Amino acid sequence: MKLFFALLLCVSVAPNVFAHGSGSDRLARNLAATCANCHGTEGHSVGKVAALAGKPAQDTIGKLTEFKEGKRPATIMHQIAKGFTDEQLRLIADYFAAQK
């Protein structure tokens, strides 16, 4: 039922078929795209740096939080994680978990 109303809302609010997901989905998408330079488009790394696509959100948010708190050794991620809010990191982890 909830899903039905959510869909109904999308149909009535969205001006056309352009909309891909909700505003928060697009926010998560935009945030995750800041990672792609090193971790690959949508988290599909083609190099030595870790791929993030499909990784369980719990694992990713756990690592990001440890980087941010300086508890996990890193070359660069301890510096970058500090630039994001906890909420942004959670959106990023959830987004990558949903990528195939």
Partner 1 sequence: MRTVNRRDFLKAAAASAGFAALGGCASMEAGGGKNHVVVIGGGFGGATAARYLKHWGGANVNVTLIERDQEFVSCPLSNLIIGGSKSLPDITRGYASLAKERVRIVHDEVVAIDAEKRTVKLASGQSMGYERLVMSPGVEFQWDQVPALQDAAAREQILHAWKAGPQTLTLRKQLEAMPDGGVFAITIPLAPYRCPPGPYERACQAAHYFKQAKPKSKVLVLDANDKIVSKPALFDKIFKEMYGGMIEYRPNSRLMDVDVATRTAKLEFDDVKADVLNVVPPQRAADIAKNTGLITTNNKWCDVDWLTMESKVQPRIHILGDAVLAAPAMPKSGHMANQHGKIAAAAIIELLDGRAPNSTPVAVNTCYSFVDDKKVIHVSSVHQYNAEKKLLETVKDSGGLSKEANELEGEYALSWAQNIWADMLG
Q: Is 19 in the site for partner 1 (CB under 8 A)?
A: yes
CA 24, 58, 56, 21: dihedral to nearest 10 degrees?
-10
Q: What is the Cα–Cα distance from 89 to 24, expressed in whole angstroms? A: 13
- Contact pattern from residue 24 through residue 43 relative to partner 1, giving x for each residue in contact according to CB under 8 A and a dash for the rest: --xx-xxx-xxxxxxxxx--
Around Cβ 43, how many Cβ atoms within 10 Å? 23
Q: Which positions from 60 to 79 touch partner 1 by CB under 8 A, shown as an x/- string? A: ---------------xx--x
Contact set with partner 1 (CB under 8 A): 15-20, 26-27, 29-31, 33-41, 45-49, 75-76, 79-80, 82-84, 88
